Amino acid sequence: MLQSATDHEPTPVHRGRSDGRRRPGAATSEATRLTAESIGILGLGAYAPERVMTNADWAARVDTSDEWIVSRTGIEERRFAAPGETSVDFAVAAAERALADAGLAARQIDEIILATDTPEMYSPDTAAFVQDRLGAREIPAFDMAGSGCAGFLLAVDVARSRAREGGKKILVAAVELISRLMSWEDRETCVLFGDAAGAVVVGPGARAARILAATAGTDGNKAGILGLEAGGTRVPFSLEAARAGLHQKVVMHGREVFREAVRRMSEAATTVLEQAGVGLADVALVVPHQANRRILDAVARRLGLPAEKMFSNIRLYGNTGSASIPLALTQAREQGRFRPGDLVLLTSFGAGFHWAAMLLRF
Ligand code: ACO
């Protein structure tokens, strides 16, 4: 039985435990240059809301069935935000758990990077609200938006290189609250998604895991196959666009997304294994972006990975976008699916198309 991150009492965050005297930016001015290998994950945590939306709930609203959804995606239920809950609430809940896991207070963090396609508002970015709510110092805090389900690993990769300069401790959060922004009438997309958030602290040391290798790539030629067009300069918000439902229209060419997701997640996984000079047999667990069950099965087949080494929580959480890897990784650790010393491979794919993979040693 997979457990929700909400099943566990978060460890209290000891605000104010740090000296609080360090100047913002002091970490960079110290200009200590570390090697990539000295940067790791210091803590992780996740948050999934209480409210469960089942396939039967969807079948009562749109022309679909439990049988169709399960056979195509493996999803039986997903979590949706409660009315009034917003992206910042999610991100802060996950961040507090990651900070507690890292044994850090919010004031000890030197930077915040937040990946999301469902921000708190159009401007300013979600990271600004998170900095304030956490009680962090006046540090750099910014969003990496629009890279879909690959956003989390891209943000960790950026954090990893920024942490090398001066040994910064960087909070990376990923949050998706897509139930608030998607169309509840488009059966081709609405049944796929769930809401969640996850976070890690990246910095010198390897309190939770060492980052052994990372890769990322983009094929912007496929930008039209998956995305949400309205709201930018190409299709600005307007009454006409809203009447046509464009503000909620997730464009998704399902079969092409399927093909590309399998190919890119497999290739990125192979690349990080090669970079680290290890084989797939050395890996204890693969934690992929939870796109859908059939995609994960196809990636496992293509890699030659035994099914039990492919972690999935898709049945109970659906596709939670950029939050899916930190949510799945946190749950896999809670379930004892890997032990200290084990290699864990993360691989992701999202709108853009972007892809990224990372190899960790816990
Ligand atoms: N319930 C019932 N019928 C549906 C539903 C639904 N929820 N959604 C679509 N259909 C219908 C379509 O209208 C279509 O009907 P038609 O044949 O009369 O035109 C039919 O089902 C399509 O059926 P299939 O061809 O069997 O569908 P397919 O096997 O291609 O599965 C799916 C569709 C699940 C979208 C698949 O293409 C897929 O998994 N693609 C990847 C999409 C994905 O994972 N997106 C997540 C976001 S991207 C990411 O995370 C990387």
Helices vs. strands in the chain: H and E counts, helices first: 12, 13
C-alpha span between 356 and 58 (Å, rounded): 32
Tell me, what's the pLDDT at 32? 60
Q: Which of 55, 292, 313, 319 is catalytic?
A: 319
Ligand 1 atom 34: residue of nearest CA: 72
Tell me, what's the pLDDT at 15? 32
Tell me, what's the pLDDT at 221? 94
Collect all residues with Cβ–Cβ distance below 8 Å to 2 and sequence separation of at least 6. Answer: 313, 315, 316, 331, 335
Q: Does domain 212-361 have CATH number 3.40.47.10?
A: yes
For residue 36, name the pLDDT band (cuts at 50, 70, 90): confident
Q: 37-207 in CATH: which number?
A: 3.40.47.10
Two tokens at 51? 């409210």
Tell me, what's the pLDDT at 35? 78
For residue 165, name the pLDDT band (cuts at 50, 70, 90): confident
Per the annotation, the verdict on 190 as an active-site residue is: no
Collect all residues with Cβ–Cβ distance below 8 Å to 157 and sequence separation of at least 6. Answer: 214, 216, 356, 358
C-alpha span between 244 and 246 (Å, rounded): 5
C-alpha span between 104 and 96 (Å, rounded): 9
Per the annotation, the verdict on 247 as an active-site residue is: no
pLDDT at 298 exceeding the cut of 80: yes
**CATH 3.40.47.10 residue ranges in the chain?**
37-207, 212-361
Averaged pLDDT, 174-203: 97
Averaged pLDDT, 91-98: 98
Per-residue pLDDT of 140-149, as tens digits, reads 999 999 999 9
Averaged pLDDT of the chain: 91
Pocket around ligand 1 at a 6 A CB cut-off: 64, 68-69, 72-73, 149, 187-188, 191-192, 226, 252, 254-255, 257-258, 261, 291-292, 294-295, 319, 349-350
Per-residue pLDDT of 246-268, as tens digits, reads 999 888 999 999 999 999 999 99
Report the candidate in 228, 246, 227 with the shortest Cα–Cα distance to residue 237: 246
56-70, 200-214, 221-235: least confident range: 221-235
C-alpha span between 172 and 85 (Å, rounded): 20
Amino acid identity for residue 76 in this structure: E
C-alpha span between 5 and 10 (Å, rounded): 9
Do 193 and 29 touch, CB atoms closer than 8 A? no
